[in-house]
Structure 1
Amino acid sequence: MTQQETINWSRKSLEELQTFWNTRIEPDLRRDGLDLDDRPTYDEVAEAGYSGIAYALREHHGMTLTEFLETVGYVEPSSEESYQWGIDDETTIEALESLLRRAERKRAPTTVDSKRYRLATYVRLYDSVHGTAALVDRVLEATNEYDELRRVETVLDELDDELESPASKLRYLSDIREFYRHLKNRHGAAFNPAENVDHREIWRNHRDTEKDNPALSSEQVSTLYDAVGSPDEQILVLALCAWGLRRNEVASLHVSQFVLEDDDPHIAFEERKNGPGTVALIYGVPELADRIDALGGRDRQWNGYLFPSRQSESGHVTGETIQRWFKRLADRADIRVRDKQPTSKMGRRFWYTTYNQAMNDLLDNLDVIAGDQGSSDPSVVLKNYLSEAERRKYRREFMRERLADAFEQ
């Protein structure tokens, strides 16, 4: 019996697949002699006996293998001749590019692109949290060490909410530390604030993914939804928990992204963490339509954003604002997860957990058909005896039932 036949791919959540990648697949690929500084190909994954992951990602999570690999730290090379760092501090940009020029002499292009992506994510988040990207200036004076250590820890805490995989968090930390070492060795920095950050306190033991990544329960989502005090908060909870969006995606939602007037309501994204794509609107469409009508009818100058902001150059609120609103609502609802204040990412995790439960419900209902076909695996029925339209229909029906259980308790 092969590895592929003994692994029940269809019953694994996305986070379980990420953990399985980190603990099983990646070590096997490394034992096969692959250089995992470069992104592994489908053929290399298949040759190691794990081809089933690609089907599970496509059918149950709407992702390609390449998109999945981005969530565990492997990023597609950039095709841009001049990389857009997304910050306006030229000293920091020059230091970043100096580091990457040195990396290009020793490492594969895909490895350098992955490092560039992670460093860009870090400096943009630093800029967003602290109002400046002047990282280099701040490490030139030894008297800034204590304050800068706190600033870096704050950014890492925010980064924790953005990343899907514990192993990916450690890759980010490694690159961030390398960047600060480069500043110390080549740009006269007096200290490396990332070297001594207490990341274990920020990012708990990465071996226990389930423990690391708690989600809101169905009962907590119901309590949260009951506590909403405004249309903004209603859409906030729906976007995070019923649509499974990231907080930055929630912040920038625009009316032009929504397709509501056909049999397949969805949100279209031209750019997303894993590339262009759509998100099905399985629940909450009437509430969304009412909110759009209210915004458009209230203000003739409405810019089309669901969460507009007149103070922001972008025209909409930031992801940090969404996080702050979510925490404020959770406090009002008196919700705690493991005795701590929940974050917006726990709403997204609820979506993934609920989707996995819905898929299990669907597969349980296919057990009888699978038995009649002489198969012990109901996913065979899902794949071979139902059309893509039928699979989509049944997945959404079971997911809609699960979401209704939470939002209508």
Structure 2
Amino acid sequence: MTETTGTSEFAGRTPDDISWTLLAVEECVEAYWHVLAPAFEADGYDPHVERPTHEWLRTNGFRPLLYALREYHDRTFEEFWTDDVGLAVEDDRTTWATDDEQTAEALTSFLTSRRKRKGLAESSLDTLRYRLNRYVGAYRAENETDDLLAPVARGGDVPAHEAVDACWAAFDRLHRELDGGQTKRRIHLAVSNWYAHLVRRKWATVNPADGLDDEFDWSNGSDAERTGDTPCLTADHVRSLYTAAEDAEERLLVLALCAWGLRPNEVARLDITQFVLDTDDVPYIEFDERKNGPGQVSLLYGREELEAYVDSRASDDDWQGYLFSSPHASRDHVSRWTVWKRFERLSERAGVPERIDGVSTSPKLGRRFWYDAYSSSLDVVLGSLDEIAAEQGSSSADVVLHNYLSESRARELRRTHMRDRLEAAFEAG
């Protein structure tokens, strides 16, 4: 790697300050580290392992660099990034929440084995990667190290009980941060399977997560789950998130979670071809595969923001149609993990509490806001039918809803009140 150090003539300069066509290749490399890399890192990416896409380069003022490389140095940006800057794309590594190369290699080995030997689909691998990353992030925060492999490695000098303590400390943190016993159990299963894979490969001597599920009571979930009072974002929280959003992608992130009620993995993969806008009925989002099978989600709010974003991207030859394109050249769209991290950063900027009713603030609380809005819209519809029920001599508004109103009329009433609820949340008073 040819990262430069010390004082540089490019330090503190912007892309517009540089005459790219006058630079030698070596000077372009120096400018990469002192001008491009800081800007890329400021956007939340790692310039040491993630290659910026042409889209990102053009958007952030580096189009002249692309031109200079092509016309004056006879090379693509990928060739420059790999051969001259001295970096290389490493599949899967860039998605891990650790900077330790051996740990990333061990994690990647596990996914590769699951892909080749168990035939897991990419969507399942993304889910597995997300669960492992939650553990890796907790391990890093709790133990202040990126190296998860050394404590369990063969020939290492770390006592087994210390490796177990470090693993358990990470799960103590996850236990505090996450609501839902099922989520914690699934993360534990993924982590335990990863360590078991390392033991089988003779990379590790101990599985520190073995038997950990016996130490926790993950059967009943959080207090909120036990009481049936599931927390969610409030309208004020949603409005704060939407107001704090700094660009179209962040606004679409809030819309996708809170106004469309999508799961984080669905948000990550959103493609413009899924949106059916040219219809006589309410526009909708179509899913060929969903947790409960194929389905449609009504687009009751946010169409204007969506269309404005699509119009802004229409002339971009590199755009593949994903609402959340990956800045990494080896991926088409962001991962579920990225959706979580972007939501967490936006929540912090918006001043949303870290925990709501004892539950960590996360993208799924946005989806729960959508469900709460839908449930309340049904309650409003039922309330408005009380008078009709009395006139008809019916026992309740629910009887009127199911026996006297057509399905389409009932759906129309629910959508109207649902739309009102979303507008109240997203639009400042």
Structure 2 length as normaliser, TM-score?
0.57
2:224 aligned partner, one-letter code:
D
1:331/1:341 contact within 8 Å kept: no
Q: Following superposition of structure 1 onto structure 2, how do residues 164-179 of structure 1 map, counting pairs within 5 Å? A: 166=180, 168-169=182-183, 172=186
C-alpha separation between the residues in 1 aligned to 2:326 and 2:176?
A: 22
**1:295 alignment partner in structure 2:** 313
Alignment CA distance shift 1:94-1:290 (3 Å): closer
Distance change (3 Å), C-alpha of 1:293 and 1:124: same
In 2, Cα distance between equivalents of 1:261 and 1:181: 50
Shift of 1:195: 2.8
> Any idea what SS the aligned residue of 2:212 has?
coil
Tell me which amino acid in the other structure corresponds to 1:295.
R
The structural deviation recorded for 1:287 is 1.1
Residue type at the aligned position of 2:254: V
What pairs up with 1:289-328 in 2 under 5 angstroms? Answer: 289-297=307-315, 299-328=316-345
Counterpart position of 2:130: 125
Counterpart in the other structure of 1:284: 302
Q: What 5-or-longer segments of structure 2 have no aligned partner?
A: 1-107, 138-147
**Residue in 2 that maps onto 1:265:** 283
Correspondence for 1:380 among 399, 404, 417: 399
Change in Cα spacing, 1:158 to 1:268, as seen in structure 2 (3 Å) is: farther
Aligned-pair Cα RMSD in Å: 4.5
CA offset digits 1:328-369 (Å, max 9, x no partner) = 222222121448862222111111111111111111111222
Amino acid of the residue matched to residue 416 of structure 2? E
| Superposition deviation, residue 211 in structure 1 | 7.8
What is the correspondence of 1:290-369 to structure 2 with a 5 Å cutoff? 290-297=308-315, 299-336=316-353, 337-338=355-356, 342-369=361-388
Q: Is the 8 A contact 1:248 1:318 kept in 2?
A: yes
Residue in 1 aligned with 2:419?
Answer: 400
8 Å CA contact 1:248–1:319 kept in 2: the answer is yes
Counterpart of 2:47 in structure 1 is none
What is the rounded CA distance, in whole Å, between the counterparts of 2:287 and 2:323 in structure 1? 15
> What is the distance in 1 between the residues matched to 2:347 and 2:152?
37
In structure 2, how many angstroms separate the alpha carbons of the residues matched to 1:191 and 1:201?
20
Kept after mapping to 2: 8 A contact 1:125/1:155: no
Match of 2:261 among 237, 241, 244: 244
In structure 2, C-alpha distance between the alignment counterparts of 1:370 and 1:284, rounded to whole Å: 35
Asked whether the equivalents of residues 268 and 336 of structure 2 are also in contact (C-alpha less than 8 Å), the reply is yes
Q: Which amino acid is the alignment partner of residue 390 of structure 1?
A: R
Preserved contact between residue 196 and residue 207 of structure 2 (Cα < 8 Å): no
Q: Deviations over 1:8-30 (max 9, x none)?
A: xxxxxxxxxxxxxxxxxxxxxxx
Q: 2-side partners of 1:195 and 1:212: how far apart?
A: 31
2:224: which partner in 1?
A: 208
SS at match of 1:267: strand
**CA deviation profile, 1:225-258 (whole Å, cap 9, x unmatched):** 1222111111111111100111121111111100
Alignment of 1:229 onto 2:246: yes
Is the contact made by 1:330 and 1:341 (CA closer than 8 Å) also made in structure 2?
A: no
Following superposition, the deviation at residue 217 of structure 1 comes to: 0.6
Percent identity of paired positions between Structure 1 and Structure 2: 36
- C-alpha distance in structure 2 between counterparts of 1:253 and 1:350, whole Å: 20
User: Where do residues 54-73 of structure 1 align in structure 2 (5 Å cutoff)?
Assistant: none
Per the alignment, do residues 220 and 121 of structure 1 end up closer, same or farther by CA in structure 2, a change over 3 Å counting? Answer: same
Task: Say if 1:244 and 1:352, in contact at 8 Å, map to a contact too.
Answer: yes
Q: Deviations over 1:248-303 (max 9, x none)?
A: 21111111100112222011111122221111101111111111111113x12211
When the two structures are aligned, how many residues end up with a matched partner? 299
Q: Distance in 2 between matches of 1:379 and 1:178?
A: 49
Aligned to 2:167: 149
> Could you tell me how far 1:395 is from its partner in structure 2?
1.2
Aligned counterparts, 1:35-114, within 5 A: 89=110, 93=114
Judged with a 3 Å threshold, the aligned counterparts in structure 2 of structure 1 residues 90 and 175 are, in CA distance, closer, same or farther, namely closer
1:370 counterpart (378, 389, 404): 389
One-letter code aligned to 1:403 = L
Query: Which residue does 2:207 correspond to in 1?
Result: 191
What SS does the corresponding residue of 1:208 show, helix, strand or coil? helix
Aligned counterparts of 1:180 and 1:89: Cα–Cα separation in 2: 6
Residues 126 and 327 of structure 1: CA distance in aligned 2, closer, same or farther (over 3 Å): closer
Scaled by the length of structure 1, the TM-score of the pair is: 0.60
Contact 1:95 1:183 in 2 (8 A): no
Q: Give CA deviations for 1:148-184 in whole Å, capped at 9, x if unaligned.
A: 72697499679958xxxx4644764785698589879
SS in 2 for 1:308: coil
Aligned mates of 1:351, 1:359 — CA distance in 2: 13
Amino acid in the other structure paired with 2:389:
A
Aligned to 1:389: 408
Q: Could you give the per-residue CA deviations for residues 175-207 of structure 1, whole angstroms, max 9, x where no partner exists? A: 569858987998886234153379859999535
Larger radius of gyration: 2
CA distance in 2, matches of 1:327, 1:212: 23
2:259–2:422: 8 Å Cα contact kept in structure 1? Answer: yes
